[in-house]
Amino acid sequence: MNGSRVARTLGRLALGGFMLTAGVAHLRQPMRGQFARIVPPWVPGTPDGVVVASGVVELGLGTAVLARGGHRPVMRAVMAGFFVAVFPGNVHQFTHRIRAFGVTDQRRRFVRLLLQPLLVLWAWWALSGSGRRRR
């Protein structure tokens, strides 16, 4: 196993763990209420329902990433798409100056916006390749 594959494997495992942790956070109070605050009003459903659904999806994605299936190109697109799909919540938090997760100033809200593209890149990088072992 070369260094690049080792790094991607570690990146994939960390990504899976991150998603499982995020999923649990979305389902437990008081974090669930914090997440509900940043759900934009135009998103269908109740904010709490959206947060619960998001948490369930995160748990599923984290589990799938850790399972190391042979469908990494699909998983990469799904994971990156998920990070893009939840980005409006971060934008809503920034544009409406919403206090959540201990983020109380615009500078921190802006930094939070910048982290979302890094999550997309992390997923794209860590899940690159076919998932098949080369001999």
The structural domains of the chain, with segments of one domain joined by +, span 3-126
Q: What's the rounded Cα separation, in Å, for the pair 113 and 135?
A: 41
Tokens of residue 71, six digits:
């469908």
CA 43 to chain centre: 18
Q: Could you tell me which of 46, 42, 50, 44 has the C-alpha nearest to residue 26?
A: 50
- Write down the pTM of the prediction: 0.88
- Answer whether 82's CB lies under 8 Å from 61's CB: yes
pLDDT at 135: 44
Mean pLDDT split into 10-residue runs, the chain, 135 residues: 84 95 94 95 97 97 84 88 96 95 92 94 86 49
